[in-house]
Each structure stands twice: as structure tokens, then as C-alpha cells.
Amino acid sequence: MTRPLLIENARIIDPASGTDAKGAVLVENGLISDIALGAPVGVPEDAEVVNANGLILAPGLIDMRVFTGEPGKEYRETLASAGEAAAAGGVTSFVMMPDTSPVVDDGALVDFLIRRAKATSKVNVLPSGAITKGLAGQEITEFGLLQEAGAVCLTDGRHSIQSSALLRTVMSYAANYGMTVIHHVSDQSLTGDGVMNEGLFATILGLKGIPREAETIPLARDLQLAALTGAKYHAAQISCAASVDLMAAAKKRNASITSGISINNLALNENDIGRYRTFFKLGTPLRSEDDRQAVIEGLRSGAIDTIHSDHDPQDTEVKRQPFAEASDGAIGLETLLAAALRLHHSGDVDLMTILRAMTSRPAEILGLSSGRIAKGAPADLILFDLDYPWQVSERDLRSRSRNTSFEGARLAGKVMRTIVGGETVHVHIE
Amino acid sequence: MAQARASKTTSSAASSGDFPPFSQRHLLSIADLKQHEIVDLLDRAEAMVPVSRQERKSHPTLSGKTQINLFFEPSTRTQGSFEIAGKRLGALVMNMSVKTSSVSKGETLVDTAATLNAMRPDVIVVRHSAAGAVELLSQKVGCAVINAGDGAHEHPTQALLDALTIRNHKGRISGLTVAICGDIANSRVVRSNLLLLGALNVRTRVIAPRNLLPAGIEHLATEVFTDMREGLRDADVVMMLRLQHERANGRMIPSVREYYRFYGLDAEKLSFAKPDAIVMHPGPMNRGVEIDPAIADGPASVITDQVEMGVAVRMAVLDALLPARNEI
């Protein structure tokens, strides 16, 4: 039995309840047992007391899109190293994509991952189950058995299902179990061998472009199928103005659809690629600044529900290549919060909205009890300094891979303490 | 056929000492060059022309230097041109093609760069199928790097030799109208040419079927046409591009026959350009696809002059870059 933990003198921000007030939180047996706003809370005698000194106390972040190297490519990332990075970044739970080797398309593997994560990771690892066997987009997996084993959602990760008929079956069948289908929207025939956003900049660089329609055409289809089947549908990551419009229009008619966005698409644009910088080569390409402004507005208006890191560790070998030949992906667990806070510091999005997109909204979409500061909820919490200035250096990051899109970036906002299930798993040391 | 102008040079051998030091470390992209640097390279190239025309084709300013031609894509024309250019300047030239390199055994470009760098070359000339590959390689070596074509990105020496050819035949470049016709979307020659000609105040036109025009091209060219006759009207220079055969047969265009009908340069279409317009082609040509053989070999064609200017431009670039490297 661990000692009770009292965090006092904090600015408590809980998007689930809309709370933003000074107060204290008491943690007992891994759960939040009491919350006191303004008035002091009753403190057990043996409690460990943490004086937050006015730092923000928020629910731990829930990252809905994280790729790991384990199993299969442990040299890129293990559940342990991803857990270290997550804890340092304030992520207390992350949804692990099924794109591993072997693919997580079987209940036994989900079971293994849960046990392995409990043994090695500092944070909660939430396995997803593959929608199709081997992520091949042909045969659907055992949704019910995956759910029984502990899969929190269904997704084919970075793969996109091309067949409308198959996707209809997927959504209909997933609705039996109330499982959220998270789908990466990408029309492969339009994407072709494109490697960045289609436009003038791609033309100047001589690189093949990916038109926005490669995203909006399958998104429009998916939204219609979601309405047809009644599925809980989540567009994994959208990136452009037209997708925001599609989501906003569809949400007026269908309450069970949601969408997410990678922090990369919120914080960066295609010009960051500069002279073929492959750390900016991402599965969903960085779009124009106009698109970035539109997705920021989408986040403000609620057309976009969640922000995730799209953490995708890639080793040097596959990134130090000519742009078109380099692998997609960037790490992001450790920079997620600070990069998102750029939107707050720039005055684009209020703090509550930003935190909601990384706490209570993912929890609602996945049916989790965490993601909120409420009595009886898991004590997954973070204390962070909203204005703490720091510069990202790949040497300091905890991931096994170094492919950060924010290398050298000056950020404001740092996680000072991360608590998972009542246990402190990370403390920032100067 | 018009003869190349050689006003800069009075003696039979060019002298690099006539020019101020060149400030660039590599030649990766026309976009890196300032207008005066472009003009400087053209002047240097013009001074090199007599070297190739004299009986003893030697101007050994690069004696003792090592030049590696690293070609990941086959290119008889460009590779040969760089080889001759290096040898006429007295450099030790080594050709490496992809089939004999370790790349086919899985070695990465960066590994290859490190290996070559250890051989202490003075300049590496690189052709690669991926845009940006030459830039990546340049970051990993200590010597000068020349881009001999990277994917659909750039081919700077081609643009320089085109400009030199135009200047020789027209007496100037600024103020002319240059029409570039063909597969604009996939051409590295176009990008370098639009950047270079734009920097020299040339009115640039691109002409292609709409699906061979890349996004945003209207920001790079002065005018964009899908109709050949309209695009060629009153042009001073007509630059044709090679059509890659894999784009025909229903993939990007329905057939070679249809392409030639609407976008092949024949006498009738050429009649829309100025009477003294010159016709260029970076080669190798598909006669009867993008150009009528009678035009390719006719009086307006300066295509073989382009080849000659190619050697001069490459000599100039090698000569300009290597002394600059010595000073660093």
C-alpha cells in the first residue's frame, strides 16, 4: 500500500468539468479520493504532500496515436523507452498502433502486450486491435475477441482501407461491440508515390505531391458509411481545410463521429521541409499555412476533437535518405504538450480546449475512466509549468529514435511531475 | 549553324585568373546562385569554348585534382560531357556508375558518400533519381559537389549551357521570350531553366497538356499555355523536352500519335514563333514524338551547339568551384 499523496496549492484545470481554479487533490490507492477548490482538503497523517507552487495540475494526457518498435523493431523503441518518453512528456496513457511485427491482429498478442507493458512501461499502454488481418485490408479480425483481450479500439494504424464495401462491414460489425473504428483516410491511388503536400513548394523541390483530395475523398466516404452503419467512427488524422469543413457538416447530423489531428499538422507546415529535411516527412503530409490555420480553427470550433503525437520512431538508417526514399514519421511523445502549448502562447486556442483535446475527449472516445480530475477516477495526473522555456535537443530525449520534428525548437511549457495510478513516474530535474 | 561567340577570350587558352573567386561551395541548384554568379559562370564558360576548339584541347588548371563522376542513373550525354570537361582541365577523372557501386548491395547514399569522401576527391559530380539526393550527399563530404541532375528537381549545368547557347545565338538573354514545351511536371531541366531565365529577366512560357503541368507552375513561369500555337507565338527560343515513354500509352497521355499531333514541334507549329527563333532540346530526342526530324536537324536547330556549350559550361563550373574550395 502506497502512502496517500496530496498535491496542494495547484491551479487545477479539468476540461471534463470545466474547472480552472486553485485547489488541492488527494490521491489514495491509485485513485483520486478528494478534490478541494479553494478550501483545504482533509489530509491523512501519513500523506506525502507536494506543494505545486501554483503549477497547473491537469489530467495526464491520453495520446491516441503512438507507434512503438516493440514487438519486432525494438532497436527503434520499446514499450519501456516509449514509457519513459511518455512520462517525461506528461502522457500517462497511449494507444499503441497495431503496426508492429507481428501485427496486433490477434487477442493473444493484445494480452501479451498488456502484460509486457505492465512489467516494463511507466505509463498505461492501451493496445489497439488491427481491423484487418496483417493490416492487408482484406479480411476482418476477431473484433470481439480483441476487445475481450483488452484492445481499446480498432484501427489499421497507418494503413487505409480502400474498399468501401469492406469498410462498411467493419463499421457494422464494430458497432456490435461499441468499439470505435479509427481510420487513417488516404486514397492510395491519389496518393500514389507522393511524398509531401501537392503545391508550389513540392514543384520547386521536384517532389511528387499528395493532393488534399487523397484525404477528403475517403473522409467523405467514411462519414457516409458511419451514418449508414451507426458506428463510432474516428478519422485518425486530418490535415486540411476541406476536411475540417466535412467534419463540421457531418457532426451536425451524427454525434458518433470524431476526428483527431497530429500535433505536427497543428504546429508545422510544408515550408518546414526546407531543403529536403526528412524529419518532416510524415505519413499525413504537412500542409500549407492556410490549411494549418484552418485546422486550428477546426480545433477551436470542435470539428477536430483530439490532438495526438503521431509518435513514430524511425532509425537513422531509414531517415538519412533522399527525401522521397526516406521513411515517414517523427517521434513526439515528449514534445506533445509543449508543442501544443504553442497554440496557447500564440493566442490561437485557449488552454482548456487544448487540454480537453488530449485528456477528456480521447477518454470519451475510447470509453476510459481516466482523462479527468474527478473523485474515483484513476490518479493519472500531471503538474506542469505553463511558461517554462526550453529548447528541444535530440540528445535529451528519451526515445530510442531521434527523429524529432522539433529539434532545436524553442518551446514554453514543461511537465514537472507525472503521476500514473497514484505513483510519481517522472519528476523534472533541472 | 551559328558559331559560338567567344568575345571574352583573346588567347587560345582561357584563363581563370580573369575572374574573381567564385563564392559557392557546391553547385546544387540554380536557386542558390545570384544573378551576377550566373553571368560570371556564363562568361567563364564562354572563355572555355576556344579550349575545346583548338587542336590541343588542354587547359590544365585542375592538374592534380580528382573528379569522381557518381551516376546512379545512366546518362551517356551528361556523364561524357563532365568527363571530357574534367580531362580537358587536367583532372584525374573517375567514373562510377550505379551497377558497379555498393548501392546495389544495399549501401545507403550516406555510406557511399563517406566512402568516397575518404578517397579525398576534389569534386564529385552526382546524378541521382531522387530529388534532394545530391544535396544530402553534399552535406556528408568535404569536397565540392556538382548536381548533374537529381530526380525532377534540378539540372543546373543544363540550364547554364542552355543560357550560353541562347546568348551566343541571340547576342543577349534578357528581354527574350523562351517557350518550354513538353513534360513540365517531371522535368528537372525546366525547373533549373525557369529559375535561371527568371533571374535574367527572360519572359518564360511553359506549354504542356494540363496533366503534365505541376501545381503552382504559374508562380515559376511568366505564362502557362496548354495550346502549342498560342504558347509559341512570337517566341525567340523554343525549348522542347523529352517525353518519357512510360507516360504515353494511356498512362498520362493516350498515345504518342496524339501527343505528336498536339505537342510535337513541326514546321507548322514552329511558324508561330519568330522567324529567327532557335529550337533547343536537352536530348536525347524522340524524333517523331516531341519533335519532327526535319526540325531537329533543320536550320533553326541549335541542338548540337548545346552539346558543345555543355562541355564549356562544365569546364567553367569545375574551374570555378575548385579554386574556391582551395581557399576554404
Q: Over the stretch B51-78, which tens digit does the pLDDT of each residue have?
A: 999 998 888 899 999 999 999 988 889 9
At A404 the pLDDT is 96
Query: To which residue does cell 577523372 refer?
Result: B93
Q: pLDDT (tens digit, 9 = 90+) per residue, B164-190?
A: 999 999 999 999 999 999 999 999 999
Domains of chain B: 26-154+309-321 (3.40.50.1370), 156-302 (3.40.50.1370)
Mean per-residue pLDDT, A274-297: 97
Query: To which residue does cell 555498393 refer?
Result: B102
Q: pLDDT (tens digit, 9 = 90+) per residue, A329-380?
A: 999 999 999 999 999 999 999 999 999 999 999 999 999 999 999 999 999 9
Chain B: which residues have CB within 8 Å of chain A?
31, 108-110, 128, 130-133, 135-136, 150-154, 188, 191, 214-217, 219-220
Q: Which residues on neighbouring strands pair with residue A427, listed in sequence order?
A: A417
User: pLDDT exceeding 70 applies to what percent of chain B?
Assistant: 90
| Contact criterion met (CB < 8 Å) for B131 and A324 | yes
At A1 the pLDDT is 62
Residue A308 carries which DSSP code?
Answer: E
What are the chain A neighbours of B30 within 8 Å (beta carbons)? none
Q: How far apart are the first and last CA of chain B?
A: 43
Identify the residue with better confidence: B249 or A319. Answer: A319
Test mutation, B73, B98, B103, B108, chain A, max A CBs within 10 A = B108
Q: Which has the closest alpha carbon to A319: B148, B132, B118, B186?
A: B132
Angle between helix A336-345 and A79-89 (nearest 10): 30
At B198 the pLDDT is 97
The answer, yes or no, to whether residue B281 has pLDDT greater than 90, is: yes
Q: What is the DSSP string of A162-206?
A: --HHHHHHHHHHHHHHTPEEEE----HHHHTT--EESSHHHHHHT
C-alpha distances (whole Å) from B94 to each of A20, B1, B81, B120 are 70, 34, 13, 12
C-beta separation of A215 from A238 below 8 A: yes
How far apart CA A99 and CA A76 sit, in angstroms, is: 13
User: pLDDT exceeding 90 applies to what percent of chain B?
Assistant: 79
Pairing label, strands A56-59, A381-391: antiparallel
Using DSSP, state whether A306 is helix, strand or coil.
strand
C-beta separation of B48 from B319 below 8 A: yes
Q: Which helix (H) or strand (E) holds A19?
A: strand A19-28
At B9 the pLDDT is 41
Task: Catalytic residue, from A105, A310, A312, A328: name it.
Answer: A310
Mean per-residue pLDDT, A135-148: 98
The answer, yes or no, to whether residue B318 has pLDDT greater than 90, is: yes
How far apart CA B3 and CA A250 sit, in angstroms, is: 68
How far apart CA A407 and CA A403 sit, in angstroms, is: 8
Domains of chain A: 5-57+378-389+409-427 (2.30.40.10), 60-366 (3.20.20.140)
Q: pLDDT (tens digit, 9 = 90+) per residue, B194-235?
A: 999 999 999 999 999 999 999 999 999 999 999 999 999 999
Q: Which helix (H) or strand (E) holds A145?
A: helix A143-149
Mean per-residue pLDDT, B247-271: 91
ipTM of this predicted structure: 0.86
Using DSSP, state whether A36 is helix, strand or coil.
strand
B274: cell is 519568330
Shortest Cα distance, chain B CAs vs residue A293, angstroms? 20
The answer, yes or no, to whether residue A44 has pLDDT greater than 90, is: no
Which one of B130, B215, B217 has the shortest CB-CB distance to A325? B130
The answer, yes or no, to whether residue B328 has pLDDT greater than 70, is: no
Mean per-residue pLDDT, A169-186: 97
Sorted by sequence, the CB contacts under 8 Å of residue A375 that are 6+ apart come out as A32, A33, A34, A35
Q: pTM (2 decimals)? A: 0.91
**Residue B15 banded pLDDT, cuts 50, 70, 90:** very low
Q: Is A315 a catalytic residue?
A: no
How far apart CA A245 and CA B244 sit, in angstroms, is: 39
What are the chain A neighbours of B217 within 8 Å (beta carbons)? 203
At B101 the pLDDT is 54
**Residue B97 banded pLDDT, cuts 50, 70, 90:** confident
What are the chain A neighbours of B214 within 8 Å (beta carbons)? 202-203, 209
Residue type at position B322: L
**Residue B7 banded pLDDT, cuts 50, 70, 90:** very low
| Contact criterion met (CB < 8 Å) for B215 and A203 | yes
How far apart CA A409 and CA A401 sit, in angstroms, is: 17
Shortest Cα distance, chain B CAs vs residue A217, angstroms? 19
Identify the residue with better confidence: A68 or B105. Answer: A68
Mean per-residue pLDDT, B86-109: 79
